[in-house]
Amino acid sequence: MENKVLIILNVPELDETYDMMIPISRKIGNLIELISKFLIEMTNGKYKIDIHKNLYNKETGQRYNNNSLVIDTDIRNGTRVILI
């Protein structure tokens, strides 16, 4: 089994969309931290970490529980997620 999946990350705050490989063995809360660090790098520090951000399935609107492992969610290759 692959240990990463490709997601399509939408960040409305930046009006940007990114393709991103994410590890399936991480908790969603930890994944949000990783995504935030990635966004800081991509925006040369313009993006600021906000601990109150959540990850949602863009198609269903479902909020992912920060304590859930990625592998235990419906996140698969090509899943569109939104960080708000």
The total domain count for the chain is 1
Residue 28 token pair: 């969603």
Q: Is the dihedral of CA 64, 76, 7, 29 positive or negative?
A: positive
What confidence tens digit (pLDDT) does each residue in 38-72 have?
999 999 998 988 889 999 999 999 999 999 999 99
pTM of the model: 0.91
CATH of the domain at 51: 3.10.20.90
CA proximity to 27, closest of 64, 63, 65, 68: 68
What range defines the domain where residue 46 resides? 4-83
The pLDDT score that the predictor gives to residue 6 is 97
